[in-house]
Each structure stands twice: as C-alpha cells, then as structure tokens.
C-alpha cells in the first residue's frame, strides 16, 4: 500500500511539473496590434502583451507588415471558439507598463508561433527561461530562410542595425565626456578621447 501511495504521489508531482504554467480562458475585447490585445478574464479587462515576440508597429507609427501582423492576430482571435492565456513561470506576470505578459492561444493554436512562422514577428525580449523560446527561435530561422514578410528585405534588419549603431555612437560620446571629466592624467584623457572618437567613427559608417 505504501509503495502504491508513493507511486501515485510521484505521478501527481510529475503531472504538476509538466503543467506548471497556469492557463485561463479569456474573451476578446479589442484588437490593438500584432503583439498587444485587450482581453477579458472573469470580470477584468487586461491589456495583454504577447510574451517573447515583437511585431512591427501599427498604432502611432505605421511600419511595414504592421497591418498584416495586426490583421493576423485579430482574425485568429475573433474566429476562435476558445481563447486562453498561459502565464509562464519563467516570466513576471506584468511588465513595467502594467500590461499582462502571457502566451495567447486561439483554439489551442499558439498565436506567437503563428506570427513567427509567417514572418510577422521577431523573437525578442527574452528575460527568463520561457517555455516556448526554443521552438519560436527554430520557427524564426525557417521564416528567415524563406524570406517571409519582415525577412523579405533588409529594412527590418537594418532598423536593428541602426539602433545598435546609435548605441555605439552614444557609448563613444560617453567615453569622450568621461575622459574630459574623470581622466587621472593627460595620457589617460587622450586615450579615452581617442577611443571614443574611434567608436563614433565606426558606428557612424554603419549608420
């Protein structure tokens, strides 16, 4: 009997560990864009930010494929018989803006995966050990190889490159300022300024 109880307990623990992420049903309230939707859970309306992806803007700024990403999400959710949110144990439940972070399902289809597979979303903002990151990254590589939508030209990738270049330029400026204000001697000041100028020059060419 004791052995049987032990086996049952171990089985129960294994099931719980496999189903650690919490799911709850939701209703569509408002489509916003490709990675944000207003959903009602119980009596509460949540502004849900889709975990682990980023889609082109289609609210204040109209970016290429932003419309397609928004329409894809809205179609999936509006036609679904059941919408569910899954909260990842590896993530905070809300972001710094108070938006709910979750995996979103439309009739058991993971919306994040649908977007990434169609080349309408980039895998991004990975701040923890999320459940489906590896699968999303594999899907993204396939979409990139097939040059689907955001990966069909260089514009989306160039945007990321420009952001990195601007950060590099900012780092160069900081080095120069630090050299002028905090260098211990003339030699160190010259080295820091020279390094900062080189960094600015290198990233200006990329930009």
Helix (H) or strand (E) segment spanning residue 114:
helix 111-117
Q: Is 57 a catalytic residue?
A: yes
Q: Is 24 a catalytic residue?
A: no
Contact (CB, 8 A) for 36 and 23: no
Strands 122-123 and 109-110: unpaired
* The one catalytic residue among 49, 68, 84, 122: 49
Tokens of 33: 């864009």
Q: Is 189 a catalytic residue?
A: no
* The one catalytic residue among 57, 63, 71, 86: 57
* The one catalytic residue among 63, 71, 86, 99: 99
Distance of CA 97 to the CA centre of its chain: 15
Spatial separation of the C-alpha atoms in residues 53 and 38, rounded to whole Å = 17
Contact (CB, 8 A) for 150 and 120: yes
Three-class DSSP labels, 170-196: HHHHHHHHHHHHHCCCHHHHHHHHHHH
Closest CA to 98 of 144, 47, 140, 173: 47
**Could you list the active site residues?**
49, 57, 99
């Amino acid at each position: 009997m004791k052995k049987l109880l032990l086996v049952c307990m171990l089985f129960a623990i294994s099931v719980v560990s496999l189903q650690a992420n919490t799911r709850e049903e939701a209703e569509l309230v408002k489509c916003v864009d490709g990675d944000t939707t207003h959903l009602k859970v119980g009596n509460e309306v949540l502004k849900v930010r889709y975990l682990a992806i980023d889609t082109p803007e289609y609210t204040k700024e109209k970016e290429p494929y932003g419309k397609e990403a928004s329409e894809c999400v809205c179609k999936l959710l509006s036609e679904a018989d059941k919408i569910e949110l899954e909260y990842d144990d590896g993530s905070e439940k809300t972001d710094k803006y108070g938006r709910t972070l979750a995996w979103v399902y439309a009739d058991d289809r993971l919306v994040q995966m649908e977007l990434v597979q169609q080349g309408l979303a980039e895998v991004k903002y990975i701040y923890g050990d999320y459940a489906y990151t590896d699968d999303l990254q594999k899907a993204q590589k396939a979409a990139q190889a097939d040059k689907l939508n955001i990966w069909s030209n260089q514009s989306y990738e160039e945007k990321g490159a420009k952001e990195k270049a601007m950060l590099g330029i900012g780092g160069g400026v900081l080095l120069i300022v630090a050299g002028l204000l905090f260098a211990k001697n003339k030699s160190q000041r010259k080295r820091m300024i020279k390094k900062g100028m080189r960094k600015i020059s290198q990233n200006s060419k990329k930009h």
